[in-house]
Structure 1
Amino acid sequence: MSTKKPTADDILRPIKHTSKRYYALFILAAAAFGAFSVGWGIQLSEGMVVTGLSDWGSGGGVTWGLYIGAFIWWVGIAHGGIILSAAVRLLGMDRYMPVARLAEMLTLAGLSAAGLYIVVHVGRPDRIVTSVIPAYLTTVQTSPLVWDMTVITLYFVMTATYLFLTLRYDVTRLRDQLPNHFEPIYKIITIGYTKKEDEIIERMVWWLAAAIIILAPLLLHGGVIPWLFALLPSMPGWFSAVQGPQFLTIALTSAISGVIIASYAFRRSYGWEHIITDDIFRGLTLWLGFFSLLFIWLQLQQVISGTFHPTTDHAQVTEAMIMHPVYQFAIVTVFIVLVYTFVQGIRPSVFSIRRSLVAAVGVLTATLWEKILFVVEGLMYPTFDLYTAVPGEYFPSLIEMVSVLGTIGLVTLIFMIFAKIVPVVELHAIEHLQEHEDEHAHETEVTAE
């Protein structure tokens, strides 16, 4: 464990220093997003026919596929991220303060990727302006899809406000050390700032965190988004009261995985072993294991209800699900992560940051595949199949697959650009760590005496 005392210069390192690896990663992420943009351009030119999607009818197939599965995945990552950050502030989990802002950034970046998927899946983006927005006042009362768009927008605004308020303190105190070429941005962030507002902002952020914690299970990945599926009795693979808690556990496992990956990247790149400590990774990994346990448990509920004397339509979709290699991969991967965290808990020597990183990547991959399969097979096995005697087929096109890499590239670019403008670790976290170090040093001196 590092005994180096954290300073403000540490959190300014990403802003002041740019390595060759930064440029290489930036180019790689930009290339991934560029490839997605080219694919989207082809889709706009040729139509949705270039995807693996199809209309219901004699041709079979599904109307929702990878696009909607990835949309759910990104929204889950985003919502879980802000829940983690809010919990740090609301529940006094000071241990995780150094990664709280990374979680907030993950929320804004994840919601941006999810919003992009909505635009892409519409086929013609102009329909959002000509059809969705004009009809909002009537459809918001009856459409779970419009509810979904509403709460996503609400959470984006809440998270942006939350982040903006906490940045005012940092930017004001570090302004002399920040680059002058971003002066217009810093002026906007600190407009009207006085030190008298610090206590007021602290209360405002606390109430925002409380609202986020309350709304998450009721409206977001525990409510509105699963209602898009759970309220359709004609789709036995979707219709279930368990979808709300299931979506919420997937969101939290995905978000914690995302925070672990982002934390590892910044720690390794900027020598932050004394800021994002081993203890933080160990704690995040244990939380990952806890929510993985809930994920497995809720999957078990679905499997049992679909295999023990189910209705004919429910039995069909459950059998297709549990026999699919994608589902088997997802469950086995999450179970292995669960076993790892359990063993780590009873034998701390088993823990390593690289193992936690592998676990995080595995969980993210598993949850993405599980959500895509959930969407596809939910459509392939309806209660009333009027057109075909056997289910249709679906396999993502190259354009759809590239979209996942493209949105990962987009999120990476957002992180990298953000890290060049403002600190990605709160100054409060550094001050808290310094106080902790001073207290520990004082205790050591007293013990020595």
Structure 2
Amino acid sequence: MSTDVSDVSRDVLVRPIQSQSRKFLAALAGALGAIGVWLFFYVGQLEHGLIVTHLADWGSGGGVPWGLYIGAFIWWVGIAHGGIILSAAVRLIGLDRYQPVARMAELLTIAALSCAGLFILIHVGRPDRLVTSVVPAWPTRVQWSPLMWDVTVITAYFVLTATYLLLTIRYDIHRLRDRLPDRLEPVYKMLMIGYTEREDEVVERMVWWVAFAIIIMAPLLLHGGVIPWLFALLPSMAGWAGGVQGPSFLSIALTSAVSGIIIIAAAFRWAYDWEELIPEAVFRGLATWLGFFSLIFLWLQLQQVMTGIFAAPTRLQHATEVKLATPAYWVAIGLVGLTLLYIFASALKPSLFSIRAMVVASFTVLVGTLIEKTLFVVEGLQHAHFSLYDGVPGPYIPSPTELSALVGTVGIVVLFFLLVSKVIPVVELHAIESDHEEVSE
């Protein structure tokens, strides 16, 4: 049975590399503009310090030391982990329907992890503190510090994902080389060092084992383990401590990642007329998964609320009551809940389903999960079992500097996809080979 792919299919696959459009230029301008806005505010932060974010104090004097920076850090890490879990599941379980978006999920992981690391760099104030404080402390603190566990596993995860991506793109570059631009020949030569077709079978087994390691690490050590342990292991923080944080973080990671993949896949489908390459069935399947993960997210939120208000310790009950009285929390829950209702309704009546509506729903989910994680960080600090200041902690409102960082990192992700799409195929060649194989059968 032949798996040869037609010239037309190959041309469709490399269309983003070969073409230049107004859509691309508009997206590029928007991404660069967003990054420029962030850099403008970040220069002000470097000049004046974290005081410009109102995160330099704790208590009645000025709010909390952690806010949107750390909330966005958790959010980006979750998107990264959920993205690579989806890609790994495609290989391990044989979810061939989602093969067209598997590489997009891998690229999203690389971009999101980079943005998460950037928020740590931003939040330490002076960037040199990472070199003078974190790096020297790592050898002696990694054994018992959840913060050092965090740095270690995220670095390991980044390396695993980059290796995973590199192993899979060599196959595509070799077979599509005659359609790739000559000006990037040095890049392709570097990526293809030592490549022979005999390695394909070996690489396929290697990728399977890397995917297996990723699937194991994600729930046990990453967004189901180390990241929530940074908070769950602090009993002095009433809103943070507890074993439910691991499953809760993981549900948010998967929900956010699927939402991000839907938006990215829809953008490429719209920009390059990839209706056949990424068919509607892919989005219907992703919508089902988004609905499932959204349901788990809401269920875990209910578990936290019930255990926080029914015969709970005084401080935990107070923190829960404050959360329930915060309009932003209900906005977050409402956004995810509305998405779940839409997905349920479109399952009952398929005519209600549309890719455009799913993009809007995915965007609302991303907003909702970001709000929830930022509130989680802030409320844990505001309702601790101790007080550094007399009086009630002041309210937290994200500053323009913090909001600009969020806008800037979104711009960085967009720019990353725009640039990568001009160098390598963002959809695997295997995706169209599988379609061709099914037709041949």
TM (normalized to structure 1)?
0.95
Amino acid aligned to 2:315: D
1:131-150 alignment runs, 5 A limit: 131-150=133-152
* Partner of residue 103, structure 1: 105
- 2:357 and 2:59 mapped to 1: Cα distance? 47
1:320-335 alignment runs, 5 A limit: 320-335=322-337
* Partner of residue 50, structure 1: 52
Amino acid aligned to 2:226: V
Whether the 8 Å CA contact 1:51–1:399 is kept in 2: the answer is: yes
1:158-169 alignment runs, 5 A limit: 158-169=160-171
Give the Å deviation of 1:177: 1.0
* Partner of residue 320, structure 2: 318
Amino acid aligned to 2:274: W
Give the Å deviation of 1:331: 0.5
- 1:286 and 1:231 mapped to 2: Cα distance? 33
Whether the 8 Å CA contact 1:60–1:387 is kept in 2: the answer is: no
* Partner of residue 308, structure 1: 310
Give the Å deviation of 1:6: 6.8
Whether the 8 Å CA contact 1:54–1:60 is kept in 2: the answer is: yes
Moved more, 58-67 or 351-360: 58-67
1:36-435 alignment runs, 5 A limit: 36-56=38-58, 59-435=61-437
Whether the 8 Å CA contact 1:6–1:433 is kept in 2: the answer is: no
- 1:105 and 1:380 mapped to 2: Cα distance? 36
- 1:134 and 1:62 mapped to 2: Cα distance? 27
* Partner of residue 36, structure 2: 34
Deviations 1:327-376 (A, max 9, x none): 00011111111111112222222211111111100100000111111111
Moved more, 143-152 or 285-294: 143-152
Deviations 1:193-229 (A, max 9, x none): 0111000000000000000001100010000000000
Cα distance change of structure 1 residues 51 and 408 upon mapping to structure 2, 3 Å threshold: same
SS in 2 for 1:116: helix
- 1:163 and 1:394 mapped to 2: Cα distance? 40
* Partner of residue 3, structure 2: none
Amino acid aligned to 2:234: L
Whether the 8 Å CA contact 1:6–1:430 is kept in 2: the answer is: no
- 1:220 and 1:386 mapped to 2: Cα distance? 31
Deviations 1:96-141 (A, max 9, x none): 0000000001000000110110100010110111111111111111
Give the Å deviation of 1:56: 2.6
- 1:380 and 1:418 mapped to 2: Cα distance? 42
SS in 1 for 2:58: coil
Q: Runs in 1 of length 4+ with deviation above 6 angstroms? A: none
Give the Å deviation of 1:396: 1.2
- 1:273 and 1:280 mapped to 2: Cα distance? 11
Give the Å deviation of 1:390: 1.6
- 1:239 and 1:418 mapped to 2: Cα distance? 40
* Partner of residue 443, structure 1: none
- 2:138 and 2:416 mapped to 1: Cα distance? 30
Give the Å deviation of 1:383: 1.2
TM (normalized to structure 2)?
0.97
Deviations 1:29-74 (A, max 9, x none): 0010111112111101111111021323551511100000001000
Moved more, 57-66 or 103-112: 57-66
The percent identity for this pair of structures is 60
Give the Å deviation of 1:385: 2.1
Whether the 8 Å CA contact 2:58–2:393 is kept in 1: the answer is: no
* Partner of residue 439, structure 2: 437
SS in 2 for 1:133: helix
SS in 1 for 2:269: helix
Whether the 8 Å CA contact 2:59–2:393 is kept in 1: the answer is: no
Whether the 8 Å CA contact 1:293–1:338 is kept in 2: the answer is: yes
What number of residue pairs does the alignment pair up? Answer: 436
Whether the 8 Å CA contact 2:60–2:392 is kept in 1: the answer is: no
SS in 2 for 1:134: helix
Alpha-carbon RMSD: 1.2
Unaligned runs of at least 5 residues, structure 1: 440-449
SS in 2 for 1:61: coil
Moved more, 385-394 or 320-329: 385-394
- 1:242 and 1:6 mapped to 2: Cα distance? 50
Moved more, 411-420 or 346-355: 346-355
* Partner of residue 446, structure 1: none
Moved more, 56-65 or 413-422: 56-65
Amino acid aligned to 1:26: L
Deviations 1:230-256 (A, max 9, x none): 000000100011000000000000000
Amino acid aligned to 2:23: R
Whether the 8 Å CA contact 2:58–2:388 is kept in 1: the answer is: no
- 2:8 and 2:383 mapped to 1: Cα distance? 56
SS in 1 for 2:61: coil
- 1:57 and 1:403 mapped to 2: Cα distance? 24
Amino acid aligned to 2:439: E
